[in-house]
Amino acid sequence: MLGKLEIEKILPRTGRGPRKVLVRGCPTPIPFTALTELPPRRWKPVYGPAAQEEARRLMRETKAERINFGWFTKMNLCRVAKGERPLSLSLCKQVREYLARKRAEREVIRQPLRFQLGPGGPRVLWRILEPPTTLPPSWWSQNPLDAGEQGRKSRARRAVSGLRVAVLEEPRDS
């Protein structure tokens, strides 16, 4: 037994490294010392049905939420689902981070504009945005677009759903 998997046949040694074994449910031979249960660890990818099911689950989630992967990521997940390749930590981690990032972006976009009644009548205000997880905190603390205009109050800028929108003000002569 290799973890919870049933070994069908131990293959003869073909070179350096651990012996390979044929396991029921996995079309390709896997190393005898391989990980067969999630989660993957550094330098220890997951082989077997657990990896295949995880890859299928990730693809199902993205399809249900209509999140698109790039061709390379999709190709690698399909290879894992077919059993041609193990599920590595880097692939698993990057896919999960991408999904979390896309979900966070969609939550920001779903927030409505704010309407406020005041003494001057009704006003429409922009969304209050939190910094997305993809940009470093230094990007939010300084405004790179106003770097050359220090001392002048000619422009105000706002971030709206990840894009920069300029609100221009004319300089006042006093």
What tens digit of pLDDT does each residue of 45-60 get?
A: 998 888 999 999 999 9
Cβ contact 32:14 at 8 Å: no
Does the pLDDT at position 133 exceed 60? no
Q: Can you give the pLDDT at residue 15? A: 86
147 Cβ partners below 8 Å, 6+ apart?
Answer: none
Rounded to the nearest integer, the mean pLDDT of the chain is 76
Q: Can you give the pLDDT at residue 121? A: 82
Q: Can you give the pLDDT at residue 72? A: 95
The strand pairing partners of 116, in sequence order, are 123
What sign for the dihedral angle of Cα 37, 41, 44, 45?
positive
Query: At 35, which amino acid appears?
Result: L
What sign for the dihedral angle of Cα 15, 17, 20, 26?
negative
Does the pLDDT at position 19 exceed 50? yes
For the chain, how are helix, strand and coil distributed in percent, rounded to 5? 35, 20, 45
Q: 90 pLDDT band (50/70/90 cuts)? A: very high
The strand pairing partners of 35, in sequence order, are 46
Does the pLDDT at position 114 exceed 60? yes
Q: Can you give the pLDDT at residue 124? A: 75
Q: Where in 57-134 does DSSP place strands (E)?
A: 114-118, 121-125
38 Cβ partners below 8 Å, 6+ apart?
Answer: 46, 50, 51, 54, 87
- Alpha carbon distances (Å) from 77 to 16, 29, 55, 72, 85: 28, 19, 6, 9, 9
Overall average pLDDT of the 25-46 stretch: 86
What tens digit of pLDDT does each residue of 137-161 get?
A: 554 454 444 444 444 444 444 433 4
Q: Can you give the pTM of this predicted structure?
A: 0.59
Q: 129 pLDDT band (50/70/90 cuts)? A: low
Overall average pLDDT of the 20-41 stretch: 85
The ranges assigned to domains in the chain are 7-108, 129-168
Nearest to 132 by CA among 108, 114, 165, 97: 108
Does the pLDDT at position 93 exceed 80? yes
